[in-house]
Structure 1
Amino acid sequence: MKKYIALIHREGDAFGVSFPDLPGCVTVGGSIEEAQALAEEALALHLEGMVEDGEAAPEPSSLDAVMTERENRDAVAVLVQAPKGVVRAVRVSVTFPEDLLQQIDAYAERNGFTRSGFLQLVAKEAMQDESRLRSAA
């Protein structure tokens, strides 16, 4: 079972998480505990996106290797378990207005997501917050 090093950084009132082995795999929580819990979800989504894009997941780096980078030394390093099995990706066809799709793609690219990875993240967040989903309907 692979475990990846996540770095938790204080960012004002929030805690940002990044994975040195997986550029673009990031999340933010209101507390260290929330950030660490969200790191597991972010890692799973990122790895699923890599599989969907036909990319192989890198081998996790050692703590020594990660900490040789000066900018990593100000963070708290935690190990995050990769999902046990890769869930098979299923291709679907959806329709979006062209301008919305362009906005989605631009946002995803700016934040290190693939289109699919971003849409999966937003869908999961919406399902976790049913009240937000109901008010949008």
Structure 2
Amino acid sequence: MNYPIVIETGSETQAFGVIVPDLPGCFSAGDTFDEAVSGAAEAITLWIEDAIENGQNVPRPSSLDELRAGSGWRGPEWVWGFAAINPALFDDSAEQINITLPRRILARLDRRAKEENKTRSGMIARLALTA
């Protein structure tokens, strides 16, 4: 999945800035063009994860042509591009897995799950998301 991004060209003394028009408040920067684009992909991923955790809708990527036609980002200082995002970020389907853990770890996990009124799977998911 590719989100359109707008890159403000940098120089030897100014960083490259990146704006993600589809995701309000999502931006990034880097000392080089490549760093800026990589940073944008990371910023988009974090933005989406935060929105999902907070029950907000995540806008799908807009058409680059539509964004370019209606934007104020025109001129030689702005370059349009895309940041590739793993579509699995949007996949909430459950998948059964098989893991092996020492019994003492399972006992601690089960105890914490019970204290928080969660299942073992729910506890593992919560811990993974907060790590």
- Please tell me the TM-score bracket, short chain as reference: 0.5 to 0.7
Q: Does 1:13 align with 2:14?
A: yes
Matched residue count: 93
Whether contact under 8 Å (1:66, 1:72) holds in the other structure is no
Task: From the CA coordinates, give the structure whose radius of gyration is larger.
Answer: 2
Matched with 2:61 is: 60
User: TM-score, normalized by length of structure 2?
Assistant: 0.61
Secondary structure at 2:55's aligned position in 1? coil
SS, match of residue 82 in structure 2: strand
Distance across 1 between alignment mates of 2:27 and 2:71: 19
Q: What's the CA shift string for 1:89-130, capped at 9, x where partnerless?
A: 738xxxxxxxxxxxxxxxxxxxxxxxxxxxx9xx9xxxxxxx
Deviation track 1:28-66 (CA, whole Å, cap 9, x = no partner) reads 101111101111101100110110111121121111111
Higher mean C-alpha deviation, range 27-36 or range 82-91: 82-91
Residue 84 of structure 1 corresponds to which residue in structure 2? 87
Q: Any unmatched runs of 5+ in structure 1?
A: 92-119, 124-137
Cα RMSD, aligned residues only: 2.6
In the alignment, structure 2 segments of 5+ residues that lack a partner are 93-124
Deviation at 1:69? 2.8
Deviation at 1:84, TM superposition (A): 3.0
Identity %: 35
Which stretch of the first structure deviates more once superposed, 64-73 or 19-28? 64-73
3-state SS of 2:9 partner: strand
Matches within 5 A, 1:1-137: 2-10=1-9, 13-74=14-75, 75-86=78-89, 90=126
| Inter-partner Cα distance in structure 1 for 2:45 and 2:64 | 20
Residue type at the aligned position of 1:33: D
